[in-house]
Amino acid sequence: MKTNSNVLFQRALNEVDIIENEFQKLSVKGRCEALIFISIFIYTEASNNEKFKNGQLIEEFLDNIAISVKKSMFFKSNEYVKDFVNDRFKFYHSEYIKNCDQNMYTPMYIYNAFYLKPFANDPTNIRSFNLNPMVLLEFKSFLVRQVRNIESKVL
């Protein structure tokens, strides 16, 4: 039987599949980055849903995210992985807010973390970025649509 936390985790994985199917294929590490990003919005929706008010369910969901990331960070400690995931939550949340609030903003740092340098210590450290600006504009609108889709689905 699937627990509610497993339902949330599967939902997050399904959303990562949507990124790959509707935007661009991800590496294994890139999938982890996208999973962390998507989890922010799944977590927010679950936190606002009576069915998921149990704090333990949310913790189990977040643990599933960390376990999934750990599988791709072979030699890192559990503590390192949890810190990494927490730092990425903050990073992605901040970047997504900019993506929505600033018309001229392009999500190149999110793109960098997903596609160019997944698991980089600092995804904002870009020495050269030669991506076609149209790809970033497509990515910007794709992210907004995807998050709105997550927010509109009933958990």
- Report which of 28, 2, 4, 3 is spatially closest to residue 16, judged by C-alpha positions: 28
Instruction: Report DSSP state, residue 117.
Output: S
Predicted pLDDT at 2: 61
Predicted pLDDT at 151: 87
Predicted pLDDT at 51: 73
The whole domain housing 81 covers: 4-152
Predicted pLDDT at 5: 79
Please count the structural domains in the chain: 1
Predicted pLDDT at 43: 87
> Which residue numbers in the chain have pLDDT < 50?
1
